[in-house]
Amino acid sequence: MAETKTNEVELGKCECCGFTEECTVAYIARVRERNEGRWICGLCSEAVKDEIMKSDRRIGSEEAMNRHMNFYNKFIALRPPVNPTEELISAVKQLMLRSLDTPRSSQVDLVGGYYDAGDNVKFGLPMAFTVTTLAWAAIAYHSQLQTAGELENVQSAIKWGTDYFLKASSKRNRLYVQVGDPVKDHQCWTRPENMKTPRTVLMIDQNNPGTEIAAETSAALAAASVVFRGTNRSYSRQLLNRAKLLFQFSKSHKGTYDGECPFYCSFSGYHDELLWAATWLYRATRRPTYMEFIQEEATTATVAEFSWDLKYAGAQILLSKFYFEGEKDLENFKQQADGGLLHLRDGANSQYVTGAAFLFSAYSDYLAKYKQTVSCGNKQFNSADLMAFAKQQMDYLLGKNPRGKSYMVGFGNKPPTQAHHRGASVPKMSPDKAVDCSMSFVYWYNTEKSNPNELTGAIVGGPDKYDNFEDRRSSSSMTEPTTYTNSLAVGVLAKLAKNHAPS
């Protein structure tokens, strides 16, 4: 997650000319290894621009991994109070909730969690999927993350999410699933510290079910329980017990929750989340009841994506591990691998790229461990074939593409400078300063200037199907980063950092 450098000067104080951020009109750039992490202002940044570019070309997957884990602090809704570290982006925390607008939840502590992307709203479904996939990465690539020095950071990022879910599900058959009014939020372009938009709270319960969110939150807690089993057994048990309760709630009170529409409508329904949650609960407990549910609810769905909305492919890959280990109950459900697409659809398309790369990476591990191959049509593929595809996808995002452009902020050649993200694009100001929402888009959204705060390590939406990319804040389908796009990249980057260097 966040880098801590004891030799950094005060953020915003230029080592070159001594100006502070209030004196500059351009972005604050960081001079990397050759200048020991010191900071320079925008007025001096051009002098070292070429040197930075040369340095970036030599950076491999491990550096990409380290910068990538920097990313999650930028979406934390409230920074943990212990061991605070200064970072480039000051918008990494939300003030403690000033008000909970619905009277019925006025006594509920919902501080924490993550924003989903470039706005200031906490959506339950994508947040839970982010935590589930981060946990999967921590389980599957434990040693690789440890070698890269990022294991504790990943675990901390997971725990920040699970702590929030424990609070949000503290009452039986009730789950708080959203904080903030997305319509009002989208009418104001401001930093989390300065937002005055309503902090509306939405929940699901027996009378207003939301199977997708309850099941995905169950999956997140079950997966995280495996992560912490070896280091914090009491916390692991707490997560697992809550996961079981949420799974039972999601099964007993079925219904699609549409309160997050039109922002996170579950187009695929809740069947995939139920299978996904049962798979993770089986992974965490090995109890037959969950395998029986999987057998009873199994489907032959053919899918071309793995995303916050559609989990079938993830469940299939995870179940393949149990099959290879000799789980006889899965004999009739052996799956063939899907090819995946580099460009599935416009609108944060990189989430499908990182999703496919992660699944292929995980599946390649299972094939290698159990000495298996997979058939697709009349062709046979082995572990190396699948990993080559995963590497190709990640190499593309990191700069090996027709435009020679990186789609990770602060990394590689010609990285994005106008990420569609409020905290990154709005300069630092006093938390008490009132923001005129009607003018906020004029001041900070429509400007052609680079973001004043670098969202280091964030993978943005990426190019269109013709490899075209517009580095403009207003081109949100290309420049907006999301937590779930980036959580899917953690595991495969960790594996590449240890075993492969991008060519």
Catalytic annotation, residues: 420
Instruction: Taking each helix axis as running N to C, give the angle between helix 124-140 and helix 483-499, from 0 to 180 degrees, rounded to the nearest 10.
Output: 10
Closest C-alpha to 91, from 111, 67, 115: 115
d(CA 18, CA 23): 10
Alpha carbon 385 to its chain centroid, in Å, reads 26
The full 3-state SS of 263-291, as one line of letters, equals: CCCCCCCCHHHHHHHHHHHHHHHCCHHHH
Count other C-beta atoms under 10 Å from residue 402's C-beta: 10
CB 117 within 8 A of CB 180: no
**Rounded-to-integer distance, Cα 316 and Cα 321, Å:** 9
DSSP summary character for residue 97: P
The residue whose two tokens read 């943990």 is 80
Helix (H) or strand (E) holding 40: strand 39-40
Amino acid at 239: L
Residue 9 structure tokens? 């000067």
- Rounded to an integer, what distance in angstroms lies between the CA atom of residue 31 and that of residue 452? 15
Helix (H/G/I), strand (E/B), else coil: 30: strand
Distance CA 159, CA 113 (A): 9
> Alpha-carbon torsion 283, 284, 287, 292, what sign?
negative
Buried b / exposed e along 417-449 (16+ C-beta atoms within 10 A): bbbbbbbbbbbbeeeeeebebeebbeebbeeee
Asked if residue 68 lies in contact with residue 489, where contact means CB atoms within 8 angstroms, the answer is: yes
Q: Are 81 and 160 in contact (CB under 8 A)?
A: no
Q: How far is CA 6 from CA 9, 88, 411, in A?
A: 9, 14, 22
